[in-house]
Amino acid sequence: MTVSRSDVRPIRTEAEVVAARQAVRSWAVEMKFSLIDQTKLVTAASELARNALNYGGGGQMRMEILERSPRQGLRLTFEDQGPGIADVEQALRDGFTTGSGMGLGLGGSRRLVDEFEIHSAPGEGTRVTVVKWR
């Protein structure tokens, strides 16, 4: 598997969350994902970027186009240096929230993509990586 293209976007403000979401949509369209898969990717990116901003104090999103013949994939990695997640399994359960949201962010994002990986620990920040293949 090779990475044929990559870009890094900051996530420090609400406007940068919007810009990250727009960049994901642009790449997904360019890669000829179906409209449904574009929507899934953009929704997951929006949730994960918002989490990095709201809970991690901001961070960054890396976008990478993966080539694994004959398939192409879009990998998104969200990183922050926030307080981390004490109980990742609990955080992935629907309905769990530490804020005012509905608690669908992490678990919902996991269901929207083909691959989902999270690394987090208290005091170490959080890194979430998702991949959607076409």
17: phi then psi, degrees, rounded to nearest 5: -65, -45
pLDDT at 102: 45
87: phi then psi, degrees, rounded to nearest 5: -130, 95
Where do the domains of the chain lie, and which CATH numbers do they carry? Answer: 2-133 (3.30.565.10)
Is pLDDT at 104 greater than 80 in this prediction? no
Across 15-19, 78-82, 94-98, 127-131, least confident range = 94-98
Tens-digit pLDDT profile for residues 10-69: 999 999 999 999 999 999 999 999 999 999 999 999 999 999 999 999 999 999 999 998
